[in-house]
Amino acid sequence: MEQQAYRSPNEAGQRGAFLLAAVEKRGIPTNEHVRAVLGALSQRGELERGSTTIQLDIPRKLWMEKLANAGQNPEIATNDHFIVGHVYISCSADAEPIQAHLRQLCKQFGFVLLFESIRPSPDENTLFWQIALFPSDVFSLSDRLFRLMAAMESDSYVRVASFSHTHVIYKAETLTQLLREPDISHPFFASAAAFAYVGQAGSPLGDRRLGAAGILIHSARTSVSTIETLLYTYGYSLFEAAGLAFIPEAAKQNGLLPLTETCGLFAAALEQEAIWVSDTAETLWKTDASSCVFIASKPYSDTAEPLAPGQPLALIRSADGQIQWLDGTRFRQEVNARLSNRRTTDIPIAF
């Protein structure tokens, strides 16, 4: 798809960063969808030297092959509770005792290790330890994964990119390095949705891992700790947390004290939910293509339409891949319905 040479009023403020999300309309994971997303990122040549983060669905067919080659039952990869972890270990550390400690942590948190491999990451500054696990039970699964990651990262030589039963996250210092990752070039590497960020130092936009699996893109005005606290201390969903943090009427209508956050730019994808919202005009753009919907921080094509300031765009993906899009009105209705059905609506008045 040819890119438009349009320059929005906010392009100077976002120079050096690019946010792109792409959702396959049928909800069917394909390798072609991944290729299209990587191709769209490659078109932005000015960001070639920027650090790259990409979140995709767990490529289950690829993991069936990995498990089979490891002597495991490949059908485990199709289970909704099958977990993939992406862990980076500093090359300056002795990896073997660190791996032994991390394996023990997995066991302590109630996970059975099914597969592991370790290889130099594409930038060769870290070792990429890729593991697959299955829970001994599914009680508080996302919360346990979040706590496990925090325990792993208590070691200063360890950084976790993702630990999830729905998504995987790959990171590299440049897009070129990311494209050298063996998984990404594998023909079985497939996804129905992708959330990618390419950024350079000094950009007002930044990315970070959100919880056990999600990726969050934010401006400096967004308090990520607020969202994580609502998710993992108070048990709210991504929609509820975003609604409480950034939509004062959503909190007020449910008898809650609204949080004093400004949105800036907020885009997040966690498990089966995603949301985009900005309080500035022409900062996020939507392109409705033939097979995909693209959301980007710069016009992706000559048919791109800007999202209205302060009006969220959100989606829910069902277990069978069905996509439900929610505009600002429907998002508020969904948040209000969820909050009204909670047993308790207590939230902290300050963070």
Asked whether the CA dihedral 319, 143, 221, 7 is positive or negative, the reply is negative
How confident is the model at residue 346, as a pLDDT?
A: 57
How confident is the model at residue 47, as a pLDDT?
A: 61
How confident is the model at residue 3, as a pLDDT?
A: 34
Separation between Cα atoms, residue 315 and residue 166, nearest integer Å = 16
How confident is the model at residue 9, as a pLDDT?
A: 36
Chain mean position to CA 68: 28
Helix (H) or strand (E) holding 230: helix 224-232
The overall pTM is greater than 0.95: no
How confident is the model at residue 4, as a pLDDT?
A: 33
How confident is the model at residue 220, as a pLDDT?
A: 65
Q: Are strands 285-288 and 214-219 parallel, antiparallel or unpaired?
A: unpaired
How confident is the model at residue 48, as a pLDDT?
A: 65
Alpha helices by DSSP H, listed for 233-342, are: 238-246, 248-252, 328-340
Task: Tell me how far apart the 2 most distant CA atoms of the chain are, in Å.
Answer: 56
How confident is the model at residue 86, as a pLDDT?
A: 97
Q: Which pair of tokens denotes residue 243?
A: 């609604």
Q: Which pair of tokens denotes residue 255?
A: 């008898």
How does pLDDT run across 59-113, given as a tens digit for each residue?
A: 999 999 999 999 999 999 999 999 999 999 999 999 999 999 999 999 999 999 9
How confident is the model at residue 45, as a pLDDT?
A: 60
Spatial CB neighbours of 264, under 8 Å, sequence gap ≥ 6: 218, 219, 220, 221, 222, 278, 279, 280
Low-confidence ranges of the chain (pLDDT < 70): 1-15, 45-48, 220-223, 251, 254-262, 343-351
Do the Cβ atoms of 136 and 151 come closer than 8 Å? no
How confident is the model at residue 13, as a pLDDT?
A: 40
- Count of CB atoms situated within 10 Å of the CB of 262: 12
Which domains occur in the chain, in start order? Answer: 14-54+187-340 (3.60.20), 59-165 (3.30.70.1150)
Amino acid 134 reads: F
How confident is the model at residue 160, as a pLDDT?
A: 96
How confident is the model at residue 50, as a pLDDT?
A: 80
